[in-house]
Amino acid sequence: MNARVLAWGLILWGGLTPAYGLAAGEDDSAEFFRFMANEAEVITVASARPETVFNSVSNITVIDRADIERYGFASVSDALSIVPGVLIVNTFGIHNIVTFRGGLQPHYANKILVMINNIPQYEANTGAATDVDSVGIESIERIEVLRGPASVIYGSNALTGAINIVLRQAEAPGREGTVAGGIASKHGEYLGDAQVSRAEGVYLARGRDWSYHLSAAMRNQASPVYRFSDESNTVSEIAEHYNARSFNARGEYKRHALLLNVANTEQSFLGAGLTRATGLGFDEVDDLVLAGYGYTYDLDDKKLKYTAAYDKQRRHVPFSADQSAVIVYDGYRVQNTLTYSSGFARDWDLELGGSHEYRKSLHVVNYNRLTGTTIDELGMAGWSVWEGSAFAQLCYAKDPWKAVVGGRYTYNAAFGSNFSPRGSVIYTIDERRSAKLVAGQSYRAPSLVENYLNISNIVLGNPALQAEKNRSVELSYLHSGGSFFGQVTGYYAEYLNNIYRTVGNFTRDGVAYTGVNFYTNAGKITVRGLETELRYERPRTHAYVNAGYIVGSHGDAHTINTPAGPAQSYLFKYVPRYTVAEGVSRDIGPFFVTAGANHFSSMETVHTRLAEQYTANVGVGWRSGPSRHAFTVRNVTDRSVVFPEYVRERVVESVPLYTGRIFEYTFRCRF
């Protein structure tokens, strides 16, 4: 299957190139190398000081503005799906969950830290990184992806990596704007049934001492109707959909910076118990507000930075057949961070920092929205936790070597102290080649929900949980030559105390429960993987082939009893052994063509095995002055792409990622 999809891109690429030839001015080190060696100096996801992908102290992948426009990515999750080691999955209740290196979350995306301009964003009750699509794709300058432990820089919730979404800003004094929109087919009907798939506006301005960014976005994603058999074997007609609304504002004045992100998402829900009686067919609704302030003081080679963030999120989950009962998660968190970096001696840099965070659960209740009354509290009201940490790291840089060693001490009021170290050694062979050795540990304390939630017929929290840890060693080689850039990374990791949901008998607060879902810790899981990135860049022709291979041990294997009989469950039962993403883009005068595909290997479900899965998109378009128009066919093969239902571990074997073919027209105009 994968060979067929790759062949489409190669045929398209190879067929067009001879016909139109290469521009006479295309030399081996044109625009792509300039980006890799110069513009990438602004990468900040792995360090307080800007770095390039070649000398970054972690392994970084950057998806920049040119990539977003060239391949027509519709959202952040769409763009992330091409990164090796990254998998975008759905559960029965949450769409577009981002996972790194096999670290499937127990329903909530709380093992990866998501940031907007280096301001962390996650929900106080669950620790979930909410929704990476809470920022419209037109608002984004680049997406920085760090795979591997990141606790030394960011503390908790960066267990398997971090994502930094950087907003666009005006490059020169003046004002500029963008409007964009799209119309797509809906529910599989290609004639006469369409919806507005997206609408976005971005306005940027810059003066001598100030700049600001204002943007608003709306995105609707609807899949064709399919038939779904729930846990009671009732068949229903379901139309998966995801709708997002967001507003972003960022302003800078001299040393001060403000950030505001407000978002609302509505997504289809298969029911808390995957039945009509528990909300199947209704919408889950999330509301969030993230506000951040930053102050930066630069003096020669010294830099002091203070950031503060307030993050409030509210989640509504339907819980009955008539949608009268709704579970409401409501909470907030406040975070303060201070960092200092300085070159204190020749070839040496020192980074110091500390942070304090307070998380508060306002309430998690079963609420009757028709009568306005609380049905019952769910064990969360008033719970809170604070966490403080301090880190330091020392960097030595003298060509051709760069070395970093550091660590973070964390104290969590509920789980005590932890020390996470990291070290990196980079050898720069020349300006286009480098090798890296990276080793480190990450730490994540259990969330309030994982500890205290009490919904006996759905899931129970476990006050006896232990904190999770991720220890890894990585070896990478990066090479940029001619029109090609390549990066290969091999790694070994140990996931300790991995938190997951299982089914069985459980005793909490002296009460014995039979056949319930509850949170628990796994034993040690060992992981080995290989990630490769290959990019080809010419002024007119662009292509990428990214691949990931991963295999994990069965250290968390356990037997569960389901209505279909006993079954064995473990994390890497549900993780594809390999993933491949390919894409190609070709400019032909004012016209352009693109093709992209994602493929992952077969996986097991609780009782069965899924076939290999793949999806492919193709598009054509044209540019006219400041305007760009494109016509895209998404999931061109019209296949149903599914993923194992690994959360409840009961009867339903899989949930959909994509169902059916979608046609979309999009436009973008700059002014």
**Do 79 and 63 form a contact (C-beta atoms < 8 A)?**
yes
Which residues, including other chains, have CB under 8 Å from residue 317's CB and lie 6 or more apart?
93, 269, 272, 279, 284, 326, 327, 328, 329
The domains found in the chain, sorted by start residue, are 2-670 (2.40.170.20)
Q: Tell me the CA distances in angstroms from 180 to 215, 216, 241, 436, one per residue in order.
A: 11, 11, 21, 40
Residue 437 burial (CB count, 10 A): 14
pLDDT at residue 49, rounded to an integer? 60
* Nearest Cα residue to 481 out of 36, 38, 39: 36
pLDDT at residue 238, rounded to an integer? 85
The answer to whether the bond into 400 is cis (omega within 30° of 0) is yes
Distance CA 36, CA 41 (A): 8
Distance CA 82, CA 88 (A): 10
Q: Is 26 left (phi over 0), alpha (psi -120 to 50) or beta?
A: beta
**Do 158 and 115 form a contact (C-beta atoms < 8 A)?**
no
pLDDT at residue 355, rounded to an integer? 95
**158: helix, strand or coil:** coil
Start-end of H helices in 41-85: 65-71, 76-80
pLDDT at residue 151, rounded to an integer? 86
pTM reported for the whole predicted model: 0.91
Distance CA 238, CA 255 (A): 51
Q: Which stretches in the chain have pLDDT values below 50? A: 1-40, 189-191
Output DSSP code: residue 13: H
Which residues, including other chains, have CB under 8 Å from residue 400's CB and lie 6 or more apart?
427, 428, 429
Matching residue, tokens 């996801």: 45
CA atoms within 13 A on the CB side of 413: 12
Pairing of strands 662-670, 627-634: antiparallel
Q: What is the DSSP string of 549-594?
A: EEEE--TT-EEEEETTEEEEE-GGGSS-SEEEEEEEEEEETTEEEE
Distance CA 94, CA 92 (A): 6
With vertex at residue 321, the alpha carbon angle to CA 317 and CA 322, rounded to the nearest 5 degrees, is: 90
Q: Which residues of 89-116 are buried (b: 16+ CB within 10 A; e: fewer)?
A: bbbbbbbbbbbbbbbbbbbbbbbbbbbb
